[in-house]
């Protein structure tokens, strides 16, 4: 970004600046829509680390990633010994990630071109699911394709807090999942789950009116019939 605008950068034209950016802790937009909206990116490495930590990975675990992007996050999880299946909705990004993963020695990562909201039923069940694009509605397919006791980590859209907290859910044997929100982790939305700008403003106003509750006080329960966001306990659903 320069003066609030995206500036294009290629490795061939400016290898030094490219190296600096890749080694920095910045998110790097890799696809821009209409000159101003990033629709694919490499996330900030510290956020990737935070989310991978939240997954509590062990070698051999099967992980479903939604939003392959550059493939960097998938490569990190594969380097930790996970068996990664990653779904990317954008064909160009998916093809590019497949090539990069192969070049980086991670051709064992399976990259599927498609809508990650349906998961990857032919490759499940998974021990872990990680989304690297924000959701306001958790697709039940992710719960169904996760083993009992497994975890789902997903950045949440600004529906009840303006800063998009991270949700960490544990999956139960009855195909329900429940968990809490942690630190803010702003992500671009899943394609198809974007919110109008006005919602951000409304969310902020409602959150301030509620006394600015800390993100860790919020939780979520997902069942085959829907989801409920709550404050402090599942008995206190919030209107959002
Ligand atoms: C923040 S980027 C992902 C960063 C990536 N994990 C990395 O390591 O570079 C979000 C990605 O999610 C993809 N995406 C958005 N909606 C999706 C969906 N419904 N299914 C699969 N991928 C989706 C976008 O095309 C974009 O590439």
What does the domain layout of the chain look like in residue ranges?
43-231
Q: What is the pLDDT of residue 197?
A: 87
pLDDT band at 137 (very low <50, low <70, confident <90, very high): very high
Distance in Å, CA 211 to ligand 1 centroid: 33
Long-range contacts of 119-126 (CB under 8 A, 24+ apart): 119/64, 119/66, 119/87, 119/144, 119/145, 120/64, 120/85, 120/87, 120/145, 121/145, 123/62, 123/64, 123/85, 124/62, 124/64, 125/62, 125/150, 126/62, 126/63, 126/64, 126/85, 126/150
pLDDT band at 106 (very low <50, low <70, confident <90, very high): very high
Instruction: Report if pTM > 0.85.
Output: yes
Q: What is the pLDDT of residue 239?
A: 76
Q: What is the pLDDT of residues 12-59, one digit of tens each?
A: 999 999 999 999 999 999 998 887 888 888 989 999 999 999 999 999
| Ligand 1 neighbours by CB, cut-off 6 Å | 39-43, 66-70, 72-73, 87-90, 93, 115-117, 132-133, 187-188, 190-192
Cis peptide before 117 (omega within 30 of 0): no
**Which atom of ligand 1 is nearest to 69's Cα?**
27
CATH code for the part of the protein at 43-231: 3.40.50.150
Top-confidence residue, 28 or 152: 152
Cα(150)–Cα(86) distance, rounded to whole angstroms? 17
**Could you confirm whether 43 is annotated as catalytic?**
yes
Asked if residue 2 has pLDDT above 90, the reply is no
Distance in Å, CA 194 to ligand 1 centroid: 13
Q: Which of 40, 41, 43, 86 is catalytic?
A: 43
Q: What is the pLDDT of residues 184-239, one digit of tens each?
A: 888 999 999 999 989 999 999 999 999 999 999 999 999 999 999 999 999 999 97
Contact between 57 and 74 under an 8 Å Cβ cutoff? The reply is no
């Amino acid at each position: 970004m320069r003066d609030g605008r995206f500036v294009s950068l290629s490795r061939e034209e400016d290898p030094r600046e490219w190296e600096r950016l890749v080694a920095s802790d910045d998110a790097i937009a890799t696809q821009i829509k209409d000159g101003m909206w990033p629709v694919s990116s490499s996330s900030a490495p510290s956020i990737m680390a935070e989310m991978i930590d939240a997954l509590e990975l062990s070698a051999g675990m099967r992980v479903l990633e939604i939003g392959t992007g550059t493939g960097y996050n998938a490569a990190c999880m594969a380097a930790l010994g996970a068996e990664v299946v990653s779904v990317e909705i954008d064909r160009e990004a998916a093809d590019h990630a497949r090539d990069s993963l192969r070049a980086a020695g991670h051709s064992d990562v399976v990259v599927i071109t498609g809508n990650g909201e349906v998961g990857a039923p032919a490759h499940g069940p998974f021990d872990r699911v990680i989304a690297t694009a924000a959701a306001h509605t958790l697709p039940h397919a992710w719960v169904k394709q996760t083993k009992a006791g497994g975890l789902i980590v997903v950045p949440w859209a600004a529906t009840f807090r303006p800063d998009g907290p991270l949700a960490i859910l544990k999956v139960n044997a009855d195909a329900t999942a429940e968990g809490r929100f942690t630190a803010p982790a702003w992500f671009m939305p899943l394609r198809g789950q974007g919110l109008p700008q006005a919602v951000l403003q409304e969310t902020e106003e409602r959150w301030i009116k509620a006394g600015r509750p800390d993100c860790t006080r919020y939780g979520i329960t997902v069942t085959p019939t829907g989801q409920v966001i709550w404050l402090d306990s599942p008995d206190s659903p919030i209107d959002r």
